[in-house]
Amino acid sequence: SQKIEQNSEALNIQEGKTATLTCNYTNYSPAYLQWYRQDPGRGPVFLLLIRENEKEKRKERLKVTFDTTLKQSLFHITASQPADSATYLCALEYGNTGKLIFGQGTTLQVKP
């Protein structure tokens, strides 16, 4: 079955540094992969979608890469701020069904 893994340990970084979060998947070749932000007690918020034929995508301070050979996506936040502190989820679609399977998320803590 499809499996998607994110680092379960929290990532703590200093304000102004670049945060890099990892998403690995197995047993599938998704057409696209998505990243979401989730704050405590709230629903996830969609951030970025990257397709299998795109190596990199940027949106303001966010950058996502997608390596279909390594079966891995990296999510970068440059010039991180305390307001970026949240849990970040990656998700991939499977089976051309419109369904998403989500990773368990990585919690990012940016310290001032």
Partner 1 sequence: DGGITQSPKYLFRKEGQNVTLSCEQNLNHDAMYWYRQDPGQGLRLIYYSQIVNDFQKGDIAEGYSVSREKKESFPLTVTSAQKNPTAFYLCASSIDSLVNYGYTFGSGTRLTVV
Binding site for partner 1 (CB under 8 A): 4, 8, 32, 34, 36, 41-46, 49, 89, 91, 93, 96-105
Cβ of residue 85: shortest distance to partner 1, in angstroms? 18
Cβ of residue 51: shortest distance to partner 1, in angstroms? 9
Contact 103, 91 (CB under 8 A): yes
Nearer to partner 1, 14 or 96 (CB): 96
Cβ of residue 15: shortest distance to partner 1, in angstroms? 27
Distance from the Cα of residue 45 to its chain's centroid: 12
Residues 6+ apart with CB under 8 A from 31: 51, 52, 93, 96
End-to-end distance of the chain based on CA atoms, in angstroms? 41
Would you call 23 helix, strand, or coil by DSSP?
strand
Nearer to partner 1, 42 or 55 (CB): 42
Nearer to partner 1, 10 or 79 (CB): 10
